[in-house]
Amino acid sequence: MTIDNRIEQALIQAVSELYGVTVDSKSIQIQETKKEIAGDKTVVIFPLLRVSKKSPEATAEELGQYLVSHVDAIESYSVIKGFLNLTISVQYWLSLLETALQQGDQYGKKPIDENSPVVMVEFSSPNTNKPLHLGHVRNNLLGYSISQILAANGNKVVKANLVNDRGIHICKSMIAWKLFGNGETPQSSGMKGDHLVGKYYVEFDKAYKKEVADLMAQGKSEDEAKAESPILLQAREMLVKWEQGDEEVIALWKMMNGWVYEGFDATYKRMGVSFDHVYYESQTYLLGKKVVQDGLQRGVLFQKEDNSVWADLTGDGLDQKLLLRPDGTSVYMTQDIGTAIERFREYGDMGELIYVVGNEQNYHFQVLRLILQKLGYAWSEKIYHMSYGMVELPDGKMKSREGTVVDADDLMEDMVKEAAAISNELGKLNGLSAEEAADVHEIIAQGALKYFILKVEPRKTMLFNPKESIDFNGNTGPFIQYTHARICSVLRKAAEQGISVDTTFSVSECNDKEKELIKMIARYGSIIELAAKDHAPSCIANYVYDLVKVYNQFYHDYSILNEENAGVKSFRLALSKEIATIISSGMGLLGIRVPERM
């Protein structure tokens, strides 16, 4: 039980005994005491005045006296206006450090509750018509990290990927390859399969724009030209044939998707992202169509004269939503209806179904929940859209169709080159073999990329600057990684001197900086809880950065290995070891490795 929990329970009991009223935890507000004020924890008294019927100062005095006499960890208190400031005993903080050391990398985390419902996190969800790009990178990193954080908070988590392997966009790449490919394959071209297919998606767009321009030059309006573009009509015809099971179309589709899957797998592996269950729209869209047809028969949905099927949401302040086109083909919403139903059938009454999708789809998920609700699925309220902002570059936005995206593979390779250049320039990896240095370069590059993206609150649009992300100073992944390596170096030198790092120590006092570090260690579990509650890996990222900043100040101000007092030296080594453990644990929740040498 944390000190905050103990204070909260004692306050509830105090209010009951002193004022004869039962209050719940919502009335108890406990904060970290401001640095300029003596104390460790501050209780906000104002919410309790309605039950004490006394002044803030008098209420705080009575509650302070009660807490000192009933909670052994509290050694004194002070009252400043309507705030009760509590000083926690040094022995409590030292005992907390010992507990953290004994729990190792499980400190701050909760064991998985096997009786709890599954929480599914769907992320990545790539289209098989192009490789992963920078926007997908943020999606993958957010999805994987929030999955790790939810699991560390005691949830049974299923990481899911829904591959968009069918639809008009897929047919665009297929038609372009048939028209312009001349049998080109990944083997013949030397390109990764996802890059090769993406190349033909761009080729389609070029041909389409040319045809539209030609038709407009012949006197067609822009809308008419777009509707009559021959290459677009061929793509639409191919989609109809695919849904009819045309053997030739299906064979081409399987071949090109196979190329893409091999490419995706390589990218995911390098990125350090994995999935527990991969769904494919080609296997789920039929269920969505069946549910839509059933909703039409029950009068929940309606059909227009052209045979298209719609949901009327105007009574809910929204608009009408297309679910089946006039030719019977489905749209994204239809597929999402089907996959959501399948998942709740497969995993039972899930606790939450989290979709990690960009904020341009906010309306889509509002509509999805509403349609499922109208179709009679009560669990629709458990759908949560983890919306995130777009990633922009210093020179503007990316466009897949125009081939102006930042490719994920190229980005990761460029980051490694940048990490190698900076490391060599600073001489940070002198003494390592070429193989060891290459591994550290990869760790630094991935850490720089992941941390720079994850430290930003998900809902915010962010500007990605590769050079800024890989700086060894400031709020960056490499800065945090270097601190971990520095601590590992200290611990290695201690071992070389025959000094073991124990989970117990003989000191009875600690200085203000050491106490500040232990207080930050104490917050780790609550930070994991907050990150899970808010679906925000940025909580973890910024906590670890703050921890590292304070540790580096301590490292600068106080000697560790050269400390003359053996007991103090042992304590500082133990404190350093725990800081390194939390750095590794916290960064691990972000999917980031930390090197022991750097």
User: pLDDT tens digits, the chain, 598 residues: what are they?
Assistant: 889 999 999 999 999 999 999 999 999 999 999 989 999 999 999 999 999 999 999 999 999 999 999 999 999 999 998 899 999 999 999 999 999 999 999 999 999 998 999 999 999 999 999 999 888 999 999 999 999 999 999 999 999 999 999 889 999 999 999 999 999 999 999 999 999 999 999 999 999 999 999 999 999 999 999 999 999 999 999 999 998 999 999 999 999 999 999 999 999 999 999 999 999 988 888 899 999 999 999 999 999 999 999 999 999 999 999 999 998 888 889 989 999 999 999 998 899 999 999 999 999 999 999 999 999 999 999 999 999 998 887 765 544 444 457 889 999 999 999 999 888 887 777 788 889 999 999 999 999 999 999 999 999 999 888 888 888 889 999 999 999 999 999 999 999 999 989 888 889 999 999 999 999 999 999 999 999 999 999 999 999 999 999 999 999 999 999 999 999 999 999 999 999 999 999 999 999 999 998 8
Report if residue 27 sits inside a domain: yes
212 and 229 in contact (C-beta within 8 Å)? yes
Residues 414 and 386 in one domain: no
CATH code at 133?
3.40.50.620
139 and 462 in contact (C-beta within 8 Å)? no
Whole-prediction pTM: 0.91
Q: How far apart are CA 303 and CA 299, in angstroms?
A: 10
Q: How many domains does one find in the chain?
A: 3
Residues 137 and 19 in one domain: no
Q: Which helix (H) or strand (E) holds 563?
A: none
Residues 309 and 385 in one domain: yes
Residues 286 and 379 in one domain: yes
Residues 29 and 65 in one domain: yes
Last residue of a domain, one of 333, 367, 392: 392
Report if residue 42 sits inside a domain: yes
Report if residue 401 sits inside a domain: no
Last residue of a domain, one of 392, 417, 446: 392
Residues 444 and 350 in one domain: no
Residues 308 and 335 in one domain: yes
454: closest CA among 265, 269, 272, 264? 272
Residues 330 and 276 in one domain: yes
Report if residue 118 sits inside a domain: no
368 and 337 in contact (C-beta within 8 Å)? yes
Last residue of a domain, one of 392, 419, 452: 392
Q: How far apart are CA 487 and CA 480, in angstroms?
A: 11
Residues 420 and 453 in one domain: yes
Domain that holds residue 574: 408-589
Report if residue 585 sits inside a domain: yes
pLDDT at 362: 96
Report if residue 97 sits inside a domain: no
CATH code at 542?
1.10.730.10
Give the β-pairing of 302-303 and 309-312.
Answer: antiparallel
Residues in the chain: 598
Report if residue 114 sits inside a domain: no
Residues 8 and 49 in one domain: yes
Report if residue 107 sits inside a domain: no
Cα 323 from chain centroid? 30
> How many angstroms separate the Cα of 518 from the Cα of each of 44, 514, 589?
23, 6, 21
Residues 445 and 496 in one domain: yes
Residues 274 and 361 in one domain: yes
